[in-house]
Amino acid sequence: MWEYTDKVKDHFFNPRNVGEIENPDGVGEVGSLACGDALKLTFKLDESGRIKDAKFKTFGCASAIATSSVLTEIIKGMTLEEASRVTNKDIAEYLGGLPEQKMHCSVMGREALEAAIENYGGGGTQKHELAGKVVCNCFGVTDKEIERVIIENDLWTVEEVTNYCKAGGGCGGCKGEIEKIIEAIQGDKIKEQREPVRYHGKGLTNIAKIQLIQQTINEQIRPALRAHGGNIELIDVEGSKVIVAFRGMCAQCRLTEFTMKDVVEAKLREFVAEDLFVEEDKDSAAEPHHHRG
Ligand code: FES
């Protein structure tokens, strides 16, 4: 059972303004029965250009009925300019909130309102056209609509997008594309969220940098070297130069150089600062020995 607020229940059990206005000034129809819900909104203006009456017909769940009902109440008395600024968030808030999985009903309400305003602007002949290119074929949702719900509701995951506009909720074939749209919009913010906090060289004091280098060596590098019978010691840090000594392994062979460049440097750059480079402290290096045979 969904958790509904009293306001949602009230509008579901006693929906206001059900039906269709005769000779309306604007008609908006969105959704389709095939997709599980559809909404038709009609309105009439008074002489001063304010919405005098609004009615709806919907085929949908309790939330679809409640959002449509509340929407007709919200817009009554508004000018079309005011009505065009109503967002799906306003509708959900007016109801005291909606279950996340039902937010798409509020989006459908906003779309129907927009379609009706467009229809009025086009002299009553305009049919609502989907703007953009269809990304989700299962529910006929375009990239523009997906972008819009992401921006207006600050969405971060495909699951959230599905809750708000259904895209991705069918076969799932469009999820990759939805992911890309989220990334394009949330951009750097999303990277910050996903990646663990990393220190960056610039803001670090010398002491903090050295500690971080030590920590990275202890946690990220030493275990890998130990697995190959070796060890590493931090000797000094001079600016971006990290001086280390390798112990208990062949310090001269090419394999060590390979390890140094590719493992140690890469790890330090990843975890501490991108400008770091590693040098081996020859003096304290292990006694050179030679491979036999
Ligand atoms: S194409 Fe989007 S869920 Fe199937």
196 or 177: which leads in pLDDT: 177
Question: Which of 104, 134, 138 has most ligand 1 atoms within 8 Å of CB, for mutation?
Answer: 138
Q: Decide: 277 and 265 in contact? Cβ < 8 Å.
A: yes
Q: Is the dihedral of CA 164, 151, 75, 49 positive or negative?
A: negative
136 catalytic per annotation: no
Atom 2 of ligand 1, nearest CA residue: 136
pTM of the model: 0.62
Q: Decide: 83 and 51 in contact? Cβ < 8 Å.
A: yes
What does the alpha-carbon distance between residue 203 and residue 42 come to, in Å, rounded to a whole number? 58
pLDDT of residue 271 exceeding 50, the answer is yes
Question: Which of 146, 174, 180 has most ligand 1 atoms within 8 Å of CB, for mutation?
Answer: 174
Using a 10 angstrom Cβ sphere, with 0-12 exposed, 13-18 middle and 19 or more buried, the burial of residue 123 is: exposed
Nearest-atom index, ligand 1, CA of 172: 3
Would you state the pLDDT for residue 259? Answer: 61
Band (290; pLDDT cuts 50, 70, 90): very low
What does the alpha-carbon distance between residue 262 and residue 221 come to, in Å, rounded to a whole number? 11
- Residue 180 neighbours by CB under 8 Å, 6+ apart: none
Compute how many other C-beta atoms are within 10 angstroms of the C-beta atom of residue 63. 26
Question: Which of 35, 104, 134, 137 has most ligand 1 atoms within 8 Å of CB, for mutation?
Answer: 137
Band (187; pLDDT cuts 50, 70, 90): confident
**Secondary element (H or E) of residue 91:** helix 88-94
Would you state the pLDDT for residue 232? Answer: 84
3-state DSSP assignment of residue 205? coil
pLDDT of residue 90 exceeding 70, the answer is yes
Catalytic residue among 61, 105, 138, 250: 105
pLDDT of residue 104 exceeding 90, the answer is yes
Q: CA of 9: how far to CAs of 12, 66, 76, in Å?
A: 5, 7, 21
Would you state the pLDDT for residue 292? Answer: 41
Size of the chain in residues: 293
CA of 141 to the centre of ligand 1 (A): 9
pLDDT of residue 182 exceeding 50, the answer is yes
105 catalytic per annotation: yes
* pLDDT average, residue stretch 241-254: 70
Extended beta strands in the chain, E state = 26-32, 37-45, 51-59, 134-136, 141-142, 231-238, 241-247, 277-280
Task: Please tell me the least confidently modeled range out of 82-91, 232-241, 270-279, 282-291.
Answer: 282-291
* pLDDT average, residue stretch 176-182: 95
Tokens 């001079």: give the residue: 238
Q: pLDDT tens digits for 212-243?
A: 899 888 888 887 777 767 788 899 998 889 99
* pLDDT average, residue stretch 12-33: 92
Nearest-atom index, ligand 1, CA of 141: 2
Q: Where are the alpha helices (DSSP H) in 128-234?
A: 143-153, 158-165, 175-194, 206-216, 222-226
List all residues whose CB is within 6 A of at least one atom of ligand 1: 136-138, 167-174
User: What is the per-residue burial (b if ≥16 Cβ within 10 Å, else e) of 85-99?
Assistant: ebebebbbebbeebe
Q: pLDDT tens digits for 111-166?
A: 999 999 999 987 766 666 677 899 999 888 999 999 999 999 999 999 999 999 99
pLDDT of residue 207 exceeding 90, the answer is no
Q: CA of 230: how far to CAs of 45, 63, 186, 222, 262, in Å?
A: 82, 64, 44, 8, 16
Compute how many other C-beta atoms are within 10 angstroms of the C-beta atom of residue 111. 23
Q: What angle do CA 6, 8, 14 make, to 5 degrees?
A: 95
CA torsion 230-234-239-240 (nearest 10°) is 20
Would you state the pLDDT for residue 27? Answer: 95
What does the alpha-carbon distance between residue 74 and residue 292 come to, in Å, rounded to a whole number? 87
Atom 4 of ligand 1, nearest CA residue: 171
